[in-house]
Structure 1
Amino acid sequence: MSGLLQHHDSLTHGWMPVTAQVVTGLVLVAALRRRRRLIAAGAFGVAAAAAAHWYIASQGLAGDPAPQALWIWIALTGFTAAALVTRCRHRRWWRRAAALAAVPLCVLCTALAVNQWTGYFPTVATAWGQLTAGPLPDQTDMATVAAFQVRHAVPHNGSLVPVDTGDAGSGFKHRGEFVYLPPAWFAADPPPRLPTLMMIGGELNTPQDWARAGNAVQTVDTFAAAHGGEAPVLVFVDVGGTFNNDTECVNGRRGKVADHLTKDVVPAMVSKFGVSSDPANWGVVGWSMGGTCAVDLTVMHPETFSVFEDIAGDLSPNSGSKAQTIDRLFGGDAAAYESFDPTTVITRHGPYTGVSGWFAVNGAGASPPPQTAAAAQALCGLGASHGIDCAVITRPGRHDWPFAANAFAEALPWLAGEIQTPGVPRTALQQPAKGPTAVDVAERRPGQ
């Protein structure tokens, strides 16, 4: 049954969102007939939508513009809630019941509109697994992993295990993280020193997001099956501590996240799983905010990472306008902001050696192109002038998790080759098209 849900009951398109909207519309018609004094309720709904629009813009949450349906359903939610409070008395019982049902149904349609925008829950099965903390694909425990090692047994698929990377180097209180071990990891005891990809999600995140919404475990399992069990180790990291803590992976007011990733996670992976510590064998993959992190970590720490995939990331850490970002993340310290701004970091560093990057951008053929496309062109252009081998790969799609999943699947053969996965050849990057400079994009960034 779970497999059927996974493949057929989509929450981003198809019959389920449409059915929810139609049912809600019918309930609204039953609950509200033409009456006087509903103008105030309508004004409240419009105000609620305007407030939501302002908040999303001020927090820098939007990669692509939100669908118009989102603002409509937020307005209808506010309208029905206000109408319920002011008009519930002296109604027939069935009309009162419809009014009571209309509010949660409007909330449901609002949530579906958000999900259609972000793709966070692609299917019912994904949503159920996330909301109930169900097992992740290939999830097991270290006892089972140890049993495989004792028997010298190589499993058909990889294993996803929880890991405690600690906080000794950063003091960052993080949630539980996960590690994917490919079949090749079990081929020897001690295990081979395999390369590693650090996987970072978006602004609103959990460490499980890449495994669930991003389909990363199935993607790397498929890759390993085609390469005799060989694939990179993947570590799914926590960069928030909580779901809505936007850290942008910097060391700042919201936690020393950069230190956690470089001083806690990397040493823990080497000591606990025997992966290679050579920077030539480490890469970072990030989606949205995580894409910004992937670039930033690599250009700031070429002694630790040599490869990145930036999937629809920003030009620089983004928590609103530049002034808001400096205040929210760095307590008003502009110098601290500059130390995590990739453009400034690359320029100050000078020539790089052995660093490469894949910029995945959604919106092929869109007019105007998304702001993330201009950011990718600018960063790749600047990086190329400083010795970073990079390309901007533009594909159709929206700024959502399905696009991130496809972008990772497309880049994985290149990533695996770049970080020297055994038996995986290196492949050439496409050359980037000419685009705006990083300075041009910074000058056009909204709110700056």
Structure 2
Amino acid sequence: MSLIAGVLPAAVLIAGVLALAWLGFASRKLGWSRFLVSVVVSCLLTGLLYLLAEMVFHWWNASLPRLLYLFCALAILGVQLALPQVTTSGTRVHRRAAGVVAALVVVLALACTVNIAYAQYPTLASLFSPPSPEDDPLPLPSAPRSDLPAASEQNWTPPPDMPSQGKVYRQQIPGPVSGYASNPALVYLPPAYLADPGAVNLPVLVLIHGQPGAPADWLISGGLTEMMNSFAARHQGLAPVVVMPDLSNAGNSNWPLCMDTTVSNSATYLAKDLPAWVQQELGAGTAGPQQWAVGGYSFGGTCAAQLAANYPQVYPTFLDIAGENEPTVASGHEDLLEIYFDGNEDSFREQNAVDRFKAARYPDTAGIIVVGRDDKVYAPEGRTVYDAARAAGADVQLQQLPGGHSWQVWKAGLQQNLDWVCTRLGILEP
């Protein structure tokens, strides 16, 4: 059952409105002056939340839909109106219980509006029973061979007992060259890989999550397993091996920028350590860079552009979904330079995607840059990346999808371009 459209979210929002109206009616004995004080306090607390969240602690960025602050103010008002119902001496038990329930319903309605805005939990199942990786170890081929031809619909015949669906596994991918510290990655293996004998030399799609976020967001909010299994069902069990690395630097408070910096060598990890491990251990992506693509949303979209610009010989195909025009930190560019580059602007510019596109030619690179139609912050930045990549000779497209900076755009950005990616990767014919 959907949590972002249809009957259930509508019912929750209607219940929230009714609960707030009942609380207002039940508080009528307190008088209009007390009610107006509650309204003023709600506005002040919401304004304080705005200042703390966006000016002081930078809990979220400017892409937060401003309408959510209105819903937050209404929720704070509801809680205030519920307090007299609960705390006033002599109030009957059922009245106290009704006040508690009404306040909870108002807060639940606020949570529902936030979820509708970001589509973080698209269904009840994604909230209460989210998809998770297999508990079994990653099934590695006994002897991966680098001389196998790249798997495609033309040279692959599925065996009769091929599994009907692919699976996701949790796997630690080491960083011997970069020294990068990483939490376990998630790896999707399609039915053709799990078949016996399998199409071992499949292409590889590296997908990077947002910030805040984790690889599991691709499963919970992005529906990646279902998306890939659906694609495989239409193409003889073939789909890319999808690697979803951890880009939190094992929980480091200073996240990597998909650059090599004083914090970590995350670019080397993603461009050298990860591909080497996949080729050696999985026997996938061994036919050359034409079998490799990188994509991501928000922070991950910025990373995808970074890797495409700095390592076109590794990732000649990229999908930048609502990324920035350069890596940022909430405290500003000067702090970014101090934290990651010892204050050296030139060191930053040497790796920044837009600057790299301006300094070199990319005739073999192709990419799609996806922006949300209602995303007033990231959409203009995506166009900047598009203009720079196009001027550098890359074969790029700019797509505008309905929605803002949310999973409505991020999920569709991958789903609607999966055929294009797989054509580039050689599974489908051009």
TM value normalised by structure 1: 0.78
- Greater Cα offset, 294-303 or 42-51: 42-51
Match of 2:422 in 1: 416
- Aligned with 1:142: secondary structure? coil
Match of 1:79 in 2: 77
Alignment of 1:44-443 (within 5 A): 44-55=41-52, 57-58=54-55, 59=58, 61-62=60-61, 64-66=63-65, 68=67, 70-82=68-80, 88-90=87-89, 92-93=91-92, 94-130=94-130, 134-135=131-132, 139=134, 141-142=136-137, 154-186=162-194, 192-240=200-248, 241-242=250-251, 247-251=256-260, 256-277=265-286, 278-320=288-330, 322-323=332-333, 326=336, 330=340, 333-335=343-345, 336-348=347-359, 350-363=360-373, 370-421=376-427, 424-426=428-430
Report if the CA contact (8 A) 1:49-1:74 is conserved. yes
Instruction: Say whether residues 1:16 and 2:8 are aligned partners.
Output: yes
Alpha-carbon spacing, 1:107–1:318, altered in 2? closer, same or farther (3 Å): farther
Q: Which structure's CA Rg is the greater one?
A: 2
Report if the CA contact (8 A) 1:292-1:314 is conserved. yes
Matched residue type, 2:417: A
Distance 2:293 2:141 in 1: 26
Distance 2:262 2:112 in 1: 33
Distance 1:318 1:109 in 2: 33
Distance 1:111 1:269 in 2: 40
Alpha-carbon spacing, 1:90–1:16, altered in 2? closer, same or farther (3 Å): same
Distance 2:387 2:219 in 1: 32
Shift in Å, 1:191: 5.5
- Aligned with 1:392: secondary structure? strand
- Greater Cα offset, 16-25 or 207-216: 16-25
Alpha-carbon spacing, 1:60–1:37, altered in 2? closer, same or farther (3 Å): closer
Shift in Å, 1:121: 0.6
Alpha-carbon spacing, 1:83–1:360, altered in 2? closer, same or farther (3 Å): same
- Aligned with 1:286: secondary structure? strand
- Aligned with 1:179: secondary structure? strand
Report if the CA contact (8 A) 1:248-1:293 is conserved. yes
Matched residue type, 1:49: T
Shift in Å, 1:194: 2.0
Q: Describe the superposition over 1:144-179 as per-residue Cα deviations: whole angstroms up to 9, x where unpaired.
A: 6779x9x99532222222211134444444333211
Distance 2:59 2:269 in 1: 24
Matched residue type, 1:275: A
How many residues of Structure 1 are paired with residues of Structure 2 in the alignment?
403
Q: Structure 1: any 5+ residue segments left out of the alignment? A: 1-8, 427-448
Distance 2:196 2:5 in 1: 45
Q: Structure 2: any 5+ residue segments left out of the alignment? A: 145-158
Report if the CA contact (8 A) 1:28-1:102 is conserved. yes
Shift in Å, 1:415: 0.9
Percent of pairs with identical residues: 23
Shift in Å, 1:390: 0.6
Distance 2:138 2:354 in 1: 45
- Greater Cα offset, 194-203 or 269-278: 269-278
- Aligned with 2:416: secondary structure? helix
Report if the CA contact (8 A) 2:256-2:263 is conserved. yes
Shift in Å, 1:101: 3.0
Q: What is the alpha-carbon root mean square deviation over aligned residues?
A: 3.3
Shift in Å, 1:202: 1.9
Shift in Å, 1:40: 4.7
Report if the CA contact (8 A) 1:357-1:391 is conserved. yes
